[in-house]
Chain A
């Protein structure tokens, strides 16, 4: 009897604890639902959907920052960001905030939140918002641009460190077309940048010997040896090297790495303005080199010469004026200063 009473008491206690736990979980879940409910933030036509845990002020600042970054880049039409809804996938019940026909018709683009740091909760970073717009724009372009553009093709300006990176990438390029470009050959630069529509890029942009050297390097050899064509290439068969490269798409079709390709867009931006950059990206006719040259209003060879000089001098412009034109202001100023000196009483 005593045992039965004790069992009943224990069971009752267990049921009470279970009910308490369920109630606590429900409360927590309810609080979580409220905290992560979607909230709309809007500024300058840009619409952001974030969980409610993100402070409203932070979301607005992120939108302002994203707009500044996109304005600085200048390669995206102003109307494009307004056709998007940029949302974080953690936000719940987005259907409620996006119920209006205007917003529901927009393209949805995801972006990540910045995790909580010491003393700071979940926040939105303007850079990630702008980057998501940039990627959405890239996805809307034609195949040629989508294939050629690097992942990060324009945000944040062109700092010294990136200029140095582009410089080293070109001057230390392992490909012969890169050496030809540094030597001043526009055709070499075009091949290195991969801006011509080559029907056989692996034949025109790489030599068989270069492909063999690359495919036999320590990072690639293991992959190469797993294929019959790869083994034939390593044994000296040139055609096998080209076939293997085409089949495996290694190395990438364009010898220039992402920073090198980005430098071309950046040079167009710096030398011809962001409207030229925007025109080039919006153009879908012809090879990429033609599009960029048309947008800049110069020939393709002139464009790559300008770009080459810009990269090798880390932002310099080719000598634009005759030396006589440079001397005239100096001589005039010297004459004026001499006149002033003769007039002064000392």
Chain B
């Protein structure tokens, strides 16, 4: 059953996966834009190059969220289009079907991650690094995979929720923003959204994988 679900999801997502995989392979290579032999580059050159790698690093978490979100939406798009008739007609409980869909989407998300890993490996091998600068291709690839999985899981869960559930989530977010505006008007320094975001992005929050060092080449 899993193979069928995987194949069906592949058919829906293959174009997006192809484009995202190409981008994922290319992104780490941008880090070596300034040339391959940094061990003998001048002082100013090293500083500029570290800046470029840092700028590329800032793009990676957003790209991971984009990949995960897109795959999460595409996982459910055929069911949303067909009003879940196909899913409901299958001889499997819904919970199993949802788990199969999730698994299939997670497996497909490994493709852009593998492309990024390949790009990071090529970039690491192409550059002669000066002392004090190291390459982290494995760590970046693993971080990208986990960040993609996080975004995918969130969007997947949202897309699979009932209309009432989705409205409840949107309502909760709007209520938090409204509360913040009231607190701001009252002169309070506490912010519900800021504290929530802080809790989510500080370890052990689930979004903490998105913050931190994403540089392929780091000091």
Interface residues of A (CB under 8 A from B): 167-168, 171-174, 178-179, 182-185, 308-309, 312-314, 316, 319, 321, 323, 325-334, 337-338, 340-346
Asked whether B47 lies within 8 Å of A337 as measured between CB atoms, the reply is no
Asked whether B153 lies within 8 Å of A326 as measured between CB atoms, the reply is no
- Of the four ranges (under 10, 10 to 19, 20 to 34, 35 or more), the interface on chain B belongs to 35 or more
Chain B residues, CB < 8 A from A346:
79, 84, 87, 94, 160-162
Nearest CB on A from B83, distance (A):
10
Nearest CB on B from A205, distance (A):
17
Asked whether B146 lies within 8 Å of A330 as measured between CB atoms, the reply is yes
Ordered by A's residue number, 24 sampled pairs between the chains whose C-beta atoms are within 8 Å are A171-B44, A174-B43, A183-B130, A184-B132, A309-B219, A312-B219, A313-B215, A313-B218, A316-B213, A319-B212, A321-B203, A326-B143, A326-B146, A329-B205, A329-B209, A330-B147, A332-B206, A333-B150, A337-B156, A338-B153, A341-B157, A342-B95, A344-B161, A346-B79
CA distance A336 to B138 in the complex (A): 27
CA distance A1 to B63 in the complex (A): 107
- Determine the residue in chain B with the shortest Cβ distance to A309: B219
Asked whether B94 lies within 8 Å of A342 as measured between CB atoms, the reply is yes
Most chain B CB atoms below 10 A, which of A168, A321, A340, A344: A344
Nearest CB on A from B186, distance (A):
21
Interface flags for B141-176 (1: CB within 8 Å of A; 0: not) read 011001101100110110011100100000000000
Whether B193 sits at the interface, judged by CB under 8 Å, is: no
Chain A residues, CB < 8 A from B218:
313
- Determine the residue in chain A with the shortest Cβ distance to B162: A345
- Determine the residue in chain B with the shortest Cβ distance to A170: B47
Asked whether A313 lies within 8 Å of B54 as measured between CB atoms, the reply is yes
Chain B residues, CB < 8 A from A183:
130-132
Asked whether A323 lies within 8 Å of B102 as measured between CB atoms, the reply is no
Given contacts A308-B219, A330-B150, A346-B84, contact A338 B157 (CB under 8 A): yes
- Determine the residue in chain A with the shortest Cβ distance to B43: A172
Nearest CB on A from B51, distance (A):
8
Asked whether A344 lies within 8 Å of B165 as measured between CB atoms, the reply is yes
- Determine the residue in chain B with the shortest Cβ distance to A175: B43
CA distance A328 to B203 in the complex (A): 10
Asked whether B43 lies within 8 Å of A173 as measured between CB atoms, the reply is yes
Given contacts A309-B219, A333-B150, A341-B160, contact A168 B206 (CB under 8 A): no
Nearest CB on B from A192, distance (A):
13
The one of B79, B154, B208 in contact with A337, judged by C-beta atoms closer than 8 angstroms, is B154
Chain A residues, CB < 8 A from B142:
323, 327
Chain B residues, CB < 8 A from A340:
157, 161
Chain A residues, CB < 8 A from B162:
344-346
Asked whether B206 lies within 8 Å of A330 as measured between CB atoms, the reply is yes
Chain B residues, CB < 8 A from A319:
212-213
The one of A173, A184, A326, A337 in contact with B131, judged by C-beta atoms closer than 8 angstroms, is A184
- Determine the residue in chain B with the shortest Cβ distance to A344: B161
Q: Tell me if A's interface is mostly helix, strand, loop or mixed.
A: helix
Asked whether B84 lies within 8 Å of A327 as measured between CB atoms, the reply is no
The one of A185, A316, A326 in contact with B208, judged by C-beta atoms closer than 8 angstroms, is A326
CA distance A330 to B68 in the complex (A): 13
Asked whether A323 lies within 8 Å of B219 as measured between CB atoms, the reply is no
Nearest CB on A from B76, distance (A):
9
CA distance A270 to B26 in the complex (A): 35
Interface flags for B55-75 (1: CB within 8 Å of A; 0: not) read 000000000000000000000
20 further contact pairs, Cβ within 8 A, besides A313-B218, A341-B161? A174-B43, A184-B131, A184-B132, A184-B219, A309-B219, A313-B213, A313-B215, A316-B213, A319-B212, A329-B205, A329-B206, A330-B149, A330-B209, A334-B149, A338-B153, A340-B161, A341-B157, A342-B94, A346-B84, A346-B162
Asked whether B203 lies within 8 Å of A325 as measured between CB atoms, the reply is yes
Whether B114 sits at the interface, judged by CB under 8 Å, is: no
Chain B residues, CB < 8 A from A178:
43
Nearest CB on B from A331, distance (A):
8
Most chain A CB atoms below 10 A, which of B46, B87, B154, B160: B160
Chain B residues, CB < 8 A from A179:
43
CA distance A319 to B87 in the complex (A): 44
CA distance A279 to B83 in the complex (A): 67
Nearest CB on A from B43, distance (A):
5
Whether B23 sits at the interface, judged by CB under 8 Å, is: no
Asked whether A337 lies within 8 Å of B219 as measured between CB atoms, the reply is no
Chain B residues, CB < 8 A from A323:
139, 142-143
- Determine the residue in chain A with the shortest Cβ distance to B88: A346
Given contacts A168-B47, A171-B46, A346-B94, contact A326 B156 (CB under 8 A): no
Asked whether B150 lies within 8 Å of A334 as measured between CB atoms, the reply is yes
Given contacts A171-B46, A346-B162, contact A337 B132 (CB under 8 A): no
Chain A residues, CB < 8 A from B212:
319, 326
Whether B127 sits at the interface, judged by CB under 8 Å, is: no
Tell me the residues in window 170-219 of chain B with beta carbons closer than 8 Å to chain A beta carbons.
203-206, 208-209, 212-213, 215, 218-219
